Structure 1
């Protein structure tokens, strides 16, 4: 038979056979290098995505009474098929799971067609190999006690233990480290990471090539001791603690929680150990003979939204506030999605609805109210209140920046007496008026049993949280710090260390850092210095073709990341480099420039925040940390640059790239004013325009210009100078931007031309990127 005589059906069959063989070969090749299949790293993610919704922890949604999230459930006899088992160790033919995942019968195949979930060939092959190797279950990695692993072998590249773990992963993935970054890059990078501010030209000159008397270690020590350190790290904690300056909901009037922000800055600058930092915030009021400072720290729990609308149901909102406290603690401190169990057992993690309300019970005995009445009177703090007077401000609370003589009031925590304590109930479907079974305060057993002998209150919860055996607290915080420095945590899903969260890219490194952190007194500054001292951190950010081919997301850290600065730090960089920054530590929030009408469009028209009243003078030039945050109208410029809107706990920010960001940098009054002020100052300081441009470049980009850049900027300056000299009427409108005073001598063509050069420098990608 000739080729032409072969029938089409035969060709189709041959093609199907060939494609099937190719598919099998491809699926086998995808397991190259996986000798031993791991439940935690290979199988659990598949089961969690495709199976746990119907065969996981949630008993109410469980099908066929089969659990695949536990070893006992998976190996038990199937109730609907006597004599059969979902899994049989080492035996594919006796394992019903295997038959179901390879079945093409819609009535038998798993996942079922109506779920719209499909297993890939690679996933099927992994499950097959796992069963053949014994189908061994492992406890979830994040719920196991933190143990310090052995260090990988030493090498010539590594500067500390971090590098040995990182290099091992690089080599496993066919990568090698980048060269060391240039000195000016390291100085800028470290300054931005530790203080959120660009290095001054004086700092750049003093440390030069980072050799001799002024070493890299000296640089780090100086930055860590700078008061700006606390402000930089406080931005992260304000997101976690959902700090805002208004109450939210419809009326959204002013609140006075800013002394808590001052405390956070103070705690970070004083290098308060993290276990103490957490204990004071959870239960400072329950410590023996608590100080006002310890009570102030508990404002952490009270930063949630409040309603001031008449006619609301008090208990409904009181429950909302307790739910928020519970969810903020579980996400921000423990890194788990406990809120998923408010209405039913968690679908993916081993948390029951009962365990959720047992944790809820720790926060359920404060005298806080859902609604305080008298809608016509809005107060800056809600019961319970901490009052701070002049005596406090000159004593233990001297870190609070307050210039007035009136008392301060802050919403803090308090505890009901024994005779007033509430009974906590499981709320049916999470509804406030549907109490069912009473529960006592406790913690999820899958994380760590609540130790006997601890009092079941918030202080006991704090002790449980910081217990050496708690598997989450140190891992979660170390991961947050890593995320702050490298842009992505070792666990990418920083707020979800559960079954649906991302697996750690460097599990041994995370365990080593978490254990080392606890062993060394939960020392935050030591942890940061450790990371910044590593060879991993000090690499160049240059990207090669090999990087893009093998590790485009830089998971294995064979280069330093290129990260756009946060919204607050972009503002800080512009103000600091221009000389406008008013470096006052702490104090009330400020209202900077903002587009007209944005605030009023979302306002209820009542209270002191009905209209936007911009601040003046030095208040306009504070750091981004201090910008006033109204929950219903968060600062638009900050939101454009991906800041948190602060209506709930957030442990990470996205990094988008949009045209609006370019429009902000080109047109924002703050950027234009900063450019004008820097231009005027440089014109007065330098007679030579080229020297003025060189200094502007160094202040903004933190390095010297190369010859090509110098030629380009000088040419642009000359073009702009000719424009303004030919159009004198454009000088005044160009320069009169912002409130910072300008003299008549400064209103000239040279200043206007240099201003345009500086605006262009602020709009360079390199300016607002940490490299």
Structure 2
């Protein structure tokens, strides 16, 4: 018995000592993982934002115990409920209530509270402890400090770099024990940059010329040619159409037709002539307020009239007018400031330093538009645009608005901006309710970003001048980040619509600041910025990924390879049409209605107006670029939606990237893809070449590289098998797709067999993948 008791005591002591050593070891490991210098912006604020600011942040309506932790002067004050104690005491975590409350074992005192279901990790606790020991220094949120151009870092293997971007990327890779991939082969690189700059695959001539060009600057020459291609403006415009929530219908239940497409023509034109970003945005925000405003400047303001508009009877006009102003205000915050200002519509922002008062001060800039909540009921041409509006005459198109593709003599009207002659008063709306006005406010901007200067007029033109003030910390960063996202698949700030406290921290903060300042120093030149991005060594890397790299950096945050993802919905259609020879390259003009499953519009309609029934277009309209597909907001184009296109209800600065079985079903069954397969097959069969040469040419047109010997053998064997097994009945059924005329006197079984091979090539993952 005694031996048993002694054995138990010895074991208990041993276990206790083991646990003590284990805890000590764990604490030592945690300490070793902590940064040498703990910073508020990059180490502490994310923790407080996630776990503490809901109750101890900017929103005074939700604040608990009178404690505010998001600003230093409040955090260091004596506690309201215990004046002898302080939340933070610099250098002394053992006396700081923040540290004591996050480490206590008393469940009635621990923070965050048990009922919040939030909990700090040991590493987060250690970071806070070390930060307090180092003085608990607060910093202004990184995104609210005007960027300064940092020095380009010194790196090992600097010979890899093509421009300044690469030094920043390589420095971060070396910090993370990563190294860049080798450059992609010429065929894949040309496909990548052609899709990125024009939204179209390279032609066979472009491929052959680039492969034959052995000059050291061959790639840069190819980039310059692509930047001159008019398709560049179309490609760049698609992202901006998402930002501007462009659509061809008003939205809401009736969802009537609208004619905003001339504004889309202007956007394409502006990108092609390389209008610099400050002018590009100023014209759209306030073109009507510029001195002696031209019709082109007025047309540009259609940007802020792209929002949804009701045409339903029985609505309360002021309620909807307020919703239109709210839409513009929220768009301004998301598109240009990368801020979720809409969170302050009903109350102070819970996380960011934007008060409800400041929200309505910003709102005041857009509250003076000469519009009403409901103008008319759904009906004829007079409802295609809402006042204020401008009419585009044939003379305008001939002499002023030469870029507008107006092919007929019908009346063409566009909704634009135009203010009242007198100032409409703006009030804080209690809880955001349209008929609950509170205190009156004047136009202004969030002080935490940049106070509105008296040197600017208190109108939309002044707001634009404030936006492009060199001290505005967000404007350049936000646009540069959107462009980075367009070419690399992920922004330097992943949350491209949220640079605030809840947004993700930049993966390469120094690079973002360098690019932002450089963009401003070069007069907001968009084409120059785009060229910088696509000529970098970072952009040119192969997309091959080793198991080690995938494990170390699964999301490719540190860009040690090129990212792989499917191209946007519009460009999938463009690739199919261009490779088959069906693409109609006409720029601009009204939107078109291509093939679509029957009954979709009819099943979701009020039964009134031009868009109550889907009447498919014919002829050349079927083969326009994807960006010209008509977007009805209540029933957006199904094929494009499946490939993650925006429905254009609201401003969208970042599209989702999904990978679903529905996407494969579209590529296998979409009449547009099948028709393209038939047309390309017929064209190849018309050529005096053997089957291997035909299949090789098809592969190059679609995948944009030469097939390997194995790939060619498999596809040729498949063609031969189809040719042997194809019946007249199956062939006739297969080729009876699409409206493009069938080639006369062509053997149907041969055509159907080659069509199946080409359809298979269209269905390769690589075909629609940027890699």
Same fold (TM over 0.5): yes
- After TM superposition, list the pairs within 5 Å mapping 1:1-40 onto structure 2: 18=18, 22=22, 25-26=25-26, 28-30=28-30, 31-32=32-33, 34-40=35-41
1:266 aligns with 2:249: no
- Per-residue CA deviations over 1:418-461 (Å, capped at 9, x if unaligned) read xx321100000000000000000000010011111211000000
Which residue number in structure 2 is paired with residue 569 of structure 1?
Answer: 571
* Deviation of the 1:214 alpha carbon: 7.4
Which residue number in structure 1 is paired with residue 245 of structure 2?
Answer: 242
**SS in structure 1 of the partner of residue 391 of structure 2:** strand
Give TM-score, length-normalised by structure 2.
0.97
The change in CA–CA distance for 1:22 and 1:436 in structure 2 (over 3 A counts) is same
1:183/1:210 contact within 8 Å kept: no
**SS in structure 2 of the partner of residue 456 of structure 1:** coil
Which residue number in structure 2 is paired with residue 350 of structure 1?
Answer: 353
**SS in structure 2 of the partner of residue 59 of structure 1:** coil
1:148/1:516 contact within 8 Å kept: yes
Pick which of 268-277 and 213-222 moved more: 213-222
Pick which of 13-22 and 319-328 moved more: 13-22
- After TM superposition, list the pairs within 5 Å mapping 1:627-642 onto structure 2: 627-642=629-644
Which residue number in structure 2 is paired with residue 400 of structure 1?
Answer: 404
2:254/2:378 contact within 8 Å kept: no
1:475/1:514 contact within 8 Å kept: yes
1:105 aligns with 2:102: no
1:544 aligns with 2:533: no
* Deviation of the 1:548 alpha carbon: 1.2
- After TM superposition, list the pairs within 5 Å mapping 1:382-531 onto structure 2: 382-417=386-421, 420-531=422-533
* Deviation of the 1:20 alpha carbon: 6.6
Counterpart-to-counterpart distance in 2, 1:127 and 1:9 = 38
The change in CA–CA distance for 1:10 and 1:576 in structure 2 (over 3 A counts) is farther
2:312/2:377 contact within 8 Å kept: no
The change in CA–CA distance for 1:682 and 1:85 in structure 2 (over 3 A counts) is same
2:493/2:499 contact within 8 Å kept: yes
Which residue number in structure 2 is paired with residue 745 of structure 1?
Answer: 745
Which residue number in structure 1 is paired with residue 150 of structure 2?
Answer: 149
The change in CA–CA distance for 1:376 and 1:581 in structure 2 (over 3 A counts) is closer
- Per-residue CA deviations over 1:95-129 (Å, capped at 9, x if unaligned) read 00000000121221100111111111111111111
Pick which of 432-441 and 738-747 moved more: 738-747
The change in CA–CA distance for 1:213 and 1:616 in structure 2 (over 3 A counts) is farther
- Per-residue CA deviations over 1:272-325 (Å, capped at 9, x if unaligned) read 000000100000000001001101111111111111110110100000000000
- Per-residue CA deviations over 1:197-247 (Å, capped at 9, x if unaligned) read 000111000111542397111101000010000111111000000000001
Which residue number in structure 2 is paired with residue 363 of structure 1?
Answer: 366
Pick which of 521-530 and 211-220 moved more: 211-220
Which residue number in structure 1 is paired with residue 701 of structure 2?
Answer: 699
**SS in structure 1 of the partner of residue 745 of structure 2:** helix
* Deviation of the 1:19 alpha carbon: 5.0
Which residue number in structure 1 is paired with residue 624 of structure 2?
Answer: 622
The change in CA–CA distance for 1:574 and 1:153 in structure 2 (over 3 A counts) is same
2:34/2:127 contact within 8 Å kept: no
Which residue number in structure 2 is paired with residue 582 of structure 1?
Answer: 584
Cα RMSD (Å) of the superposition? 1.7
Counterpart-to-counterpart distance in 2, 1:79 and 1:690 = 83
1:424/1:440 contact within 8 Å kept: yes
1:142/1:497 contact within 8 Å kept: yes
The change in CA–CA distance for 1:22 and 1:617 in structure 2 (over 3 A counts) is farther
Give TM-score, length-normalised by structure 1.
0.97
The change in CA–CA distance for 1:610 and 1:6 in structure 2 (over 3 A counts) is farther
**SS in structure 2 of the partner of residue 503 of structure 1:** coil
Structure 1 consecutive aligned stretches of length 4 or more whose deviation exceeds 6 Å: 1-4, 6-14
**SS in structure 1 of the partner of residue 737 of structure 2:** coil
Pick which of 472-481 and 13-22 moved more: 13-22
- Per-residue CA deviations over 1:677-714 (Å, capped at 9, x if unaligned) read 00000000133111100100000111111111111011
* Deviation of the 1:8 alpha carbon: 7.9
Unaligned runs of 5+ in 1: none
Counterpart-to-counterpart distance in 1, 2:20 and 2:673 = 61
The change in CA–CA distance for 1:189 and 1:632 in structure 2 (over 3 A counts) is same
* Deviation of the 1:44 alpha carbon: 0.3
- After TM superposition, list the pairs within 5 Å mapping 1:182-221 onto structure 2: 182-208=185-211, 210-212=213-215, 215-221=218-224
Which residue number in structure 2 is paired with residue 57 of structure 1?
Answer: 58
Counterpart-to-counterpart distance in 1, 2:244 and 2:410 = 26
The change in CA–CA distance for 1:50 and 1:33 in structure 2 (over 3 A counts) is closer
The change in CA–CA distance for 1:240 and 1:15 in structure 2 (over 3 A counts) is farther
Counterpart-to-counterpart distance in 2, 1:559 and 1:194 = 20
2:569/2:640 contact within 8 Å kept: yes
Counterpart-to-counterpart distance in 1, 2:207 and 2:170 = 30
Which residue number in structure 2 is paired with residue 297 of structure 1?
Answer: 300
1:731/1:747 contact within 8 Å kept: no
1:338 aligns with 2:341: yes
Which residue number in structure 2 is paired with residue 94 of structure 1?
Answer: 95
Counterpart-to-counterpart distance in 2, 1:392 and 1:2 = 107
Counterpart-to-counterpart distance in 2, 1:2 and 1:214 = 88
Counterpart-to-counterpart distance in 1, 2:541 and 2:436 = 57
- After TM superposition, list the pairs within 5 Å mapping 1:113-152 onto structure 2: 113-152=114-153
Pick which of 345-354 and 365-374 moved more: 365-374
1:48/1:348 contact within 8 Å kept: yes
Choose which of 276, 281, 286 in structure 1 pairs with 2:279. Answer: 276
The change in CA–CA distance for 1:3 and 1:547 in structure 2 (over 3 A counts) is farther
* Deviation of the 1:549 alpha carbon: 2.1
1:389/1:406 contact within 8 Å kept: no
The change in CA–CA distance for 1:502 and 1:17 in structure 2 (over 3 A counts) is farther
1:697/1:705 contact within 8 Å kept: yes
Counterpart-to-counterpart distance in 1, 2:406 and 2:3 = 92
- Per-residue CA deviations over 1:498-527 (Å, capped at 9, x if unaligned) read 000000000000000000001001111100
The change in CA–CA distance for 1:16 and 1:383 in structure 2 (over 3 A counts) is farther
**SS in structure 2 of the partner of residue 436 of structure 1:** strand
* Deviation of the 1:355 alpha carbon: 0.2
The change in CA–CA distance for 1:91 and 1:374 in structure 2 (over 3 A counts) is same
* Deviation of the 1:657 alpha carbon: 1.0
Counterpart-to-counterpart distance in 2, 1:532 and 1:342 = 39
**SS in structure 2 of the partner of residue 700 of structure 1:** helix
Counterpart-to-counterpart distance in 1, 2:52 and 2:593 = 50
* Deviation of the 1:33 alpha carbon: 5.6
1:543/1:559 contact within 8 Å kept: yes
* Deviation of the 1:249 alpha carbon: 0.5
* Deviation of the 1:375 alpha carbon: 5.0
Counterpart-to-counterpart distance in 2, 1:161 and 1:190 = 19
Which residue number in structure 2 is paired with residue 319 of structure 1?
Answer: 322
Unaligned runs of 5+ in 2: none
* Deviation of the 1:157 alpha carbon: 1.1
